Amino acid sequence: MASKGQQFKYYDFDFKVKLVTLYLEGKGGLRTLAREYGLDHTQIRSWVKKYKAGELTEDKADMRGKIQFRKTIFSSMEEELEYLRLENEYLKKKLLAKEGMDASIASLWSSKNLK
């Protein structure tokens, strides 16, 4: 777990691909490569998993501190309204799942946010 004020080490895309390639070509095991490059073997395992899934790409490599917004385009106002109603129901269920939350508070929150 990260501690307050901890500085995280950043590895560039080329370095990650180099280690993944070395591992996949059999030129070293996870622990051997980790020891050689001063990493934890679980970090390399994570990069290998992302590489195999196609998620280790250069455009995603430097996302530190950046917020990703998912823009949803709706074809009609009715479609957008339905989306927002479903999202509201989901949030209401999450709110009710919290300890000590009673249904009247969630309903009040829900009714205020629908207007």
Average pLDDT of the segment spanning 69-94: 79
What would the pLDDT profile of 91-102 be if each residue is shown by its tens digit? 777 777 776 666
Q: What is the pLDDT of residue 29?
A: 93
Sign of the CA dihedral 76, 79, 84, 87? negative
* Token pair in block for residue 19: 């280690």
**Would you kindly state where each structural domain of the chain is located, as residue ranges?**
13-61, 77-114
How many whole angstroms separate alpha carbon 7 and alpha carbon 1?
12
Per-residue pLDDT tens for 22-72? 999 999 999 999 999 999 999 999 999 988 988 887 765 555 555 455 557
Determine if the pTM surpasses 0.85.
Answer: no
Residue pair 27/36 in contact (Cβ under 8 Å)? The answer is no
Of the two residues 28 and 73, the one the predictor is more confident about is 28
